[in-house]
């Protein structure tokens, strides 16, 4: 097989790689912040790659977008105001706006080109961009949170790239402290937290930073994500109040369709592997 027919992302230090057979490259450009590529693949639909790392595909994006949004929104007692830091492909925004309680959802991504390319190559993810409750901002999300007033938001979803480049500051104690300050009484921040198999040290550093910033309740949940390193991903929720229960009846009776998320998946995602429990004495 000709290697040029495949897109491959190698993971330094893990001696592993993920590949997809491609039909053709649809687009590439250097934005003001990162190098963006769009491929048409044989079996995963369109694929967006940022700085050489797989970001979103037509076939499997629902795992990530549903699991970074619905568990948190069904855990908060009444989420009305939601901010999405990053999330330029708009898939998370689409899932958030499925919740009737949400009155205002702001997506803050520093790179407008990600959204404009998603509108072309992933239009199904951008279906809610014109929702009257949606607001798109192309500014620095770290500064947005830092400058926010207290009690400004109920849930902050950090839908970011890996902790390098523009996203590095989103994994810091200072950022979590700013999140804590602008969240409402039952406020929570949920952030993609990489793979527990490959990035356990990073998850530990995130959890420590979240706790040090004032969040007394932490919860890491797990889900499959084929195109990301190891194929097994996670998100971590940090909350001002208890995460022991979620609105199970509301989730069971949700008035919208999902592809992966349901009550059973929500419960299963919270099961902690033994090595994870031992790492953090859970």
Whole-angstrom Cα distance, residue 212 to residue 201?
Answer: 16
| Neighbour count for residue 69 (Cβ, 10 Å) | 30
Residue 281 is predicted with a pLDDT of 81
pLDDT at position 40 is 98
pTM for the structure as a whole: 0.95
- Tell me the C-alpha distance between 54 and 9, whole Å: 7
The sign of the dihedral angle between the CA atoms of 83, 59, 193, 257 is positive
Give the pLDDT means over successive 10-residue stretches in the chain (282 positions).
81 90 98 97 98 96 98 98 97 98 98 98 98 98 96 96 62 92 97 94 94 97 96 97 97 98 98 95 72
What pLDDT sits at residue 232?
97
Residue 12: predicted pLDDT: 82
Rounded distance, CA 228 to CA 5, Å? 19
Q: Residue 91 belongs to what H/E stretch?
A: helix 91-96
Q: What pLDDT, on the 0 to 100 scale, is given for residue 168?
A: 64
> Which residue do the tokens 């568990």 mark?
71
Question: Which two structure tokens, joined as six digits, stand for 72?
Answer: 């948190």
Per-residue DSSP letters for 196-265? TTT-HHHHHHHHHHHHHTT--EEEEEEEE-TTSGGGEEEEEEEESS--S---HHHHHT-SS--SS--HHH
User: Which of 202, 206, 229 lies closest to 18, judged by CA?
Assistant: 229
Predicted local distance difference test score (pLDDT) of residue 11: 87
What is the pLDDT at residue 1?
A: 47
Catalogue the active-site residues: 159
- Buried-exposed string 164-180: b where 16+ CB fall within 10 A, e elsewhere: eebbebbbbeebbbbbb
Provide the β-strand partners of residue 190. 157, 237
């Amino acid at each position: 097989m000709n290697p040029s027919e495949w897109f491959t992302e190698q993971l330094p230090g893990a001696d592993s790689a993920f590949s997809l057979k491609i039909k053709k490259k649809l687009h590439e450009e250097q934005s003001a912040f990162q190098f963006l590529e769009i491929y048409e693949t044989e079996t995963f639909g369109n694929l967006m790659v940022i700085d050489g790392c797989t970001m979103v595909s037509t076939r499997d994006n629902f795992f990530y977008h549903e699991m970074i949004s619905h568990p948190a929104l069904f855990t908060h007692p009444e989420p009305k105001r939601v901010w999405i830091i990053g999330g330029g492909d708009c898939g998370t925004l689409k899932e958030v706006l499925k919740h009737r309680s949400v009155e205002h959802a702001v997506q803050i991504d520093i790179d407008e080109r990600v959204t404009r390319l998603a509108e072309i190559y992933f239009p199904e993810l951008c279906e809610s961009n014109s929702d009257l409750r949606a607001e798109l901002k192309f500014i620095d999300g770290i500064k947005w949170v830092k400058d926010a007033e207290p009690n400004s938001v109920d849930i902050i979803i950090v839908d970011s790239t890996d902790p390098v480049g523009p996203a590095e500051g989103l994994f810091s104690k200072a950022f979590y402290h700013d999140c804590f300050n602008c969240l409402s009484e039952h406020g929570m921040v949920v952030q993609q937290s990489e793979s527990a198999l490959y990035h356990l040290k990073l998850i530990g550093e995130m959890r420590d930073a979240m706790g040090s910033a004032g969040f007394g309740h932490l919860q890491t949940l797990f889900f499959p994500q084929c195109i990301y390193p190891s194929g097994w991903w996670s998100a971590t929720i940090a909350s001002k109040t208890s995460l022991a229960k979620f609105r199970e009846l509301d989730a069971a009776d949700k008035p919208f369709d999902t592809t992966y998320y349901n009550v059973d998946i929500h419960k299963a995602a919270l099961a902690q592997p033994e090595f994870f429990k031992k790492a953090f004495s859970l």
